[in-house]
Structure 1
Amino acid sequence: MDADVNKTEVNKPTQESLNLPFPELVDCLDEVLDLIGLEHKKVTLKTSTTPNPCVLLSGLRCHVDEVLIKEHPGVNSPDVRISNPVPSLTPRPSDERSCLTPIENIAANETNLQIKFGTLEDQQLTSTKVGKNPVTNNDITLMVVPGVRLHVVFGDITHETTDAIVNSTNFKHLEYGVCKAILTAAGPVVTAQVKAAKVNRGSIFKTKGGSLPCKAILHVCGLKDAGLIESLVCDLILHCEASGYRSIAIPAICAGQGGMNAGVVAQAILQGVKTAASSTPLRCVTDIRLVLFDKTFFLLFKEEALKVFSIDVVDKVSLPHEQQNPQRSVTAKPSIISTSFDTRKSVFLFLGLWCKNVSDAKMKLKQLYEDQCLTHTFKAEEVGSLSEEDIVCLQQLVDKEGLKIQSVQGNITVSGLKDGVKNVMQMIKESQLSNLRRQVIVREEENLLSRVAWCILGSSGNWERLPKTANHRLEHNNLVGGIMDEQRNQWTVDLQRMEATGQVTREIRKIKRLENLPDFTLPLYWDNMAAGEDMKVVTLQESSPEYRSVEQAFRRTVPEGRIKIERLQNVHLRRAYEAQKKHISDKNANMGTEVEKVLYHGTTQDNCDAIMKTGFNRRFAGQNATQFGEGTYFAVKASYSAQHLYATPTADRSRRIFVAQVLTGIYTPGKRDMKVPPPRDIFLPHDRFDSVVDKMNNPSLHVVFHDNQAYPDYLITILGIKDWECSLRMLLGLT
């Protein structure tokens, strides 16, 4: 009876499980069985991943037991290790289990040796948690320009710790998608500010980070317009640069809930990044992070990024142990480049039936590897011009390519696979060429600065000179990305209208170009002068800030009458005045005294033309007064000079008063018979005062004795009235 039972059990269908040492074997069991010569038609083998990677053997118990015990007792041994036979050129990293125990009791066949390489690449987004946002195996980092990295990240933007976070919103419906997540994380104060905001198309609305760990949230609306999104991304990066922010996190603007095609959005955002990085040097912004919460969007953005930016500069995501110290200590001296890179060793698993076959394969693989290796030494003079940013890129490239680098007495030796070493050689060559181009541009900027001055009208109404880089770009019509002024504000320029528009504020300012003479630099408030033009009279528009500034000072004491204001641009007079100003300034450098004052001088119409052409000549002295010396008189108040005694009315009853820049310097009370100022020290007769006054306490008059000590800056004409207006006033008894 027992024999019958046992016979029944042996012939009964059953299923057994055989655990696999590597999960990869689930997908390639057939290749392994072919390799070891295992074939059993009476047993069905099927792989499974639950509850753990295994092989399910189905069939009659006698046949299953035969496979597990009799024919291949070593297969089920926990010591057996078989490499992943999936073809790939990527070796298994050192943190994988790499031991290999020879497989015993396997029938020999024609298969002697087979070498396969494992791979880490997996289209599934597996990740290791690092900080708040995970770093996935598929996250990538690209070098946009030296020193500026673009990260394509799969994660939640509210977990970012960048200086700035971008919120994509239409400012109306705040309860959807990324906008809802950001505002929920930021808190009710930020939400209320966004609800109350009135933002123009293409503008950036900035709030504090609220509960988010960032310095600012930049709220924008792309309005399903790819061109606008590209412009916005460029403006966002330049805004961060102007604000001193080092990093910015950007979502897929207008994709997802926004309804735009993700591919179009990706292209627009990446082009905006490229434009911002190429338009102006980014000295603050170092990290631009595109954060995608949707897996499909992430893979699409990653694909588009690799099209826009060269794969030669791709820096794979760092391993978890490297993230603990992301900022290396870098020096601009190549002689002390850090060589303490974490070497990521590759381990190859060999599978074979005989030790000699495995040993031969190892030797052959080693020889093949050595044949593909290259060592190159860069002389100190080759790498001496590398900037700090270049060295950062060099270290990143060495890390990426798995190279070894050594620095001895300024020379750098790089060794590793040929392609990697050649990439380093190409990178250093390009850096040298880039440095050479920068040096050429710097020299061009310096040379141009002395010849041409591009100016922008400041908020105070005064013209301000633009920095040399903006000056050079405007002169060569290089307007992509705009220009930056001395306050690091970004402007978009329209040369046809000669206007600049603030990229953040949208404020419109006037710009102008001045071309200096070889021996004379035009004042910034002058208009440009044609070649050979020595004298120019410019009538100011009443709406201009310059007109209002001159008028305001004049109206303090002369409130009545309509006036016309003309700016006088006399190159010869101004050159002589500037030379005299330097002389008096140098002489009084240790006195701490104000050298120059803006004063008034009334005159007749006949003298007016002569003063405009030849300046304030002392031969006209004495026509009205010589009480304080025989020099040229100037009044502190416009009302004094506007008196009929000095500003003699013409036939149409108009009067003329000059606004002059006068070098008063160190002054003393004047006397009637003075032809020159008296000496400051009786023992130093040649060291004289610069001017004289009517009284030392709050003087109302200044007198100068040198023709070049005053420059006629503006001519104010108090307009007269026409004959019929005069008759009417007489009839009405108004005169």
Structure 2
Amino acid sequence: SVQGHPGRHALLTCIKHSLTSVAFPAIGTGQGNVAARTVADAMLDAVVEVLRKNPNSCLKNVRIVIFQKQMLPDFHDSLQQRSATGSLYLSSDVFTYDHVLSSAFFSSSSPDKTQTTSDFVRDALKPAPVCFHICGESASKINLAKQKINSVLTKNLLSESIKDEMVFSLSQDQLRRLDEVQRSSEVGIKVEGINGEGSIHIEGLAQDVASAIKLIHGILKAARLEEDLNQKAALLSAVIEWQYAAPGQDFHSFDLKTNYELEQALEAKKSQVKVKLNGQEVTVKLPDGPATNKSGQSLKIQRVNKSSDLPPSWEQMDSFSTKVLPVAPGSPEYSTVEQQFKASCNRNIIKIERVQNPALWQSLQIKRRAMDVKNGHQNNERQLFHGTSQDTIAFINEHGFNRSYAGKNATVHGKGTYFAVKAQYSSSNTYSRPSATGEKFMYLCSVLTGDFTTGAQDMIEPPLKKAGTTEKYDSVVDNTQNPSMFIVFHDSHAYPDYLITFK
């Protein structure tokens, strides 16, 4: 039983002594000869019961060590069942070390960066109850008073919801800020992500809900800006790497954020910029250093360009910024794109432009090389078409294809980004919506399709290749024998090579 389970006593002891983490083996599966699923259910029930009753404890991580690999599915299924029913916010990561399989599967608060598409529910904090003691001449009058109190509460209570995919990317600090909003605004805030849709539900007095919503929108805006910055920094690091070194020592890379700040300062033609290095503020002279701290100690600085393998057809890039350049009609490059377009679509091409985005391109190459190794073959990349509207062009050129646009046109085969084998399909008004002047827009893209299978409407990621494994397909299609479209679920798995404007 949960009450008598030794894991429960271990957890209570940790809480008593203000410990933050605990690890113990799968108790009972050895000499106890108890079925793995029974043990999993009992242990997880103990974890849920203890932490629900002690929500403000210091205990943040519970780890169960599983020594027999075949037992892992039982624990994982038990975990998923509790996560799906909203028993508690659960996260699962599996690490294999030769014969020892360690499943670090429980967190009573979100990890530093959630970044997950798995379903989850984070319940509202439970406030201290308000008790009404009603005295009256008779039971009927007391009941009448209760009815009036309930009526007043019902009239003044409000429930609102905010739907936002950023829910899946909220950091631990941002989730704590939501908890602070609950306490300061005296409302209940429930956060959930179900079937790829994120939402925040707010309940309380009408005026409190209104003020809480403003604060929540501020948190979501900050989260979106932070995620955008992190994505830009990660993409940049694939192309440009700033490094530092003490005299006589090897060079080391700056962290991604500082790397981005240094490159931005260089593009802005600043002579120097202040950044953080190992917790200290240093002043970096641009472009060649040195970096100097407040004590006058200096470090050597260098900027490494990792983009030497950019396509030979690209024009010289003076900086990291994205360029969109016209392709000369009649040139071999123009003719190649034109032939691919006209093979299925007899529309009039107005112009073809080449998109030069070093960070996005380099990111695609890294993913492709990894996919070549994973799949054991090099038939992982295809050139496909993607119709779009004029208002999304600037975003795609700068950031690539974002799954947040999934569902604008179709989700029949999954909630990802859709690419067509034939230009004719993407040329319809559904996908290539005409501008005010009647112009239409389509990208010819390099897409990492890899190994694929048939898609389904509710998919938010490719399915597993084989049950009991962790390896997934790379994309899904409408028909595996003769696909007319591919759906990818990773933003870095496609690059917009050319923008075709046509009528």
TM-score by length of 1: 0.27
TM-score by length of 2: 0.39
